[in-house]
Amino acid sequence: MMGLLAGCGAPIDQTTETADMLKGNWWERNVVYYFAITLDAFAGWFNNSYGLAILLLTIIVRTLILPLTLKQYRSSKAMQALQPQMAEIKKKYKDNPQKQQEETMKLFQTHQVNPMAGCLPLLVQMPIFIALYNAIYKNPDIREATFLWLELGEPDKIVLPLLAAATTFLQTKMMQSTQQQTMPGMGMMLVIFPVLIFVMSMSFPAALPLYWVYSNIYTIIQNYFLYVRNSDKSKKEVPAK
């Protein structure tokens, strides 16, 4: 994902006029171009403030893909509910991996659970986020824009990378508390992702980590209502013994 976003090593100062994207490859003509003109239009609404334009576009994009996120959430909850049965199968057939797999698949079929349902929404989201990233990355007008203390075309070495890393850590931590059983690697992600985002944010033009911060804040609010709040409600509904 990060390799795709980074454009496989494309130079940081590579920009393209929005109209010139129509002369580019299929991806630029049919996807990135429409994100770019939308970003330019939003900036016009806010007196050429690309910082606010990036915020609005992030909110719209994340809201449009919210149904996919809800599908991922339901899949995660279904997998968590089956954890006790899956643990029993693993214990019962610990010396027979093939039988263990067969019984696990039967369990999924019985309860109509698709173990890949949690991954498919992420795969659908990737092209959207990459297109949005490219629309920000290649826009020459953003390179000349300022927002708050930021020069959007220049890297911010301290504050923005710290914000990007901190919000990444927080949203991953929220996910870890609910998906540790179904995604054992979440603990490692909690360490690696914030560091990776911090390092990349120090090198990229500030517009890009600004988008990450916006997206992370949206995810934190979203996860609060999906996971934290719902988890608290479930605990309150459990009758005292």
| 130 contacts 5 by C-beta, under 8 angstroms | yes
35 belongs to a structural domain: yes
pLDDT of residue 137: 79
Range of the domain at 141: 2-231
pLDDT of residue 96: 77
The pLDDT profile of the chain, 241 residues, written as one tens digit per residue, is: 444 444 433 444 556 677 778 887 888 888 888 888 998 999 999 998 999 999 998 899 888 888 877 777 777 777 777 778 888 888 877 777 887 888 888 877 887 776 666 566 667 667 877 887 888 878 888 878 888 888 888 889 889 999 999 998 888 777 665 554 445 555 566 678 888 889 888 888 888 889 889 988 998 888 888 766 655 555 555 454 4
* Domain tally, the chain: 1
pLDDT of residue 2: 46
176 belongs to a structural domain: yes
120 belongs to a structural domain: yes
| 5 contacts 128 by C-beta, under 8 angstroms | no
Residue pointed to by tokens 């949005």: 132
User: What is the three-class DSSP state of 143?
Assistant: helix
139's CB contacts (< 8 A; 6+ apart) are 15, 16, 18, 36, 39, 40, 50, 207
241 belongs to a structural domain: no
144 belongs to a structural domain: yes
How many other C-beta atoms lie within 10 A of the C-beta of residue 182?
A: 18
Burial 88-105 (b: 16+ CB within 10 A, else e): ebeeebeeeeeebeebbe
175 belongs to a structural domain: yes
Q: What is the pTM of this model?
A: 0.74
How many other C-beta atoms lie within 10 A of the C-beta of residue 128?
A: 16
13 belongs to a structural domain: yes
238 belongs to a structural domain: no
Q: In 3D, which of 163, 138, 181 has the Cα closest to residue 220?
A: 163
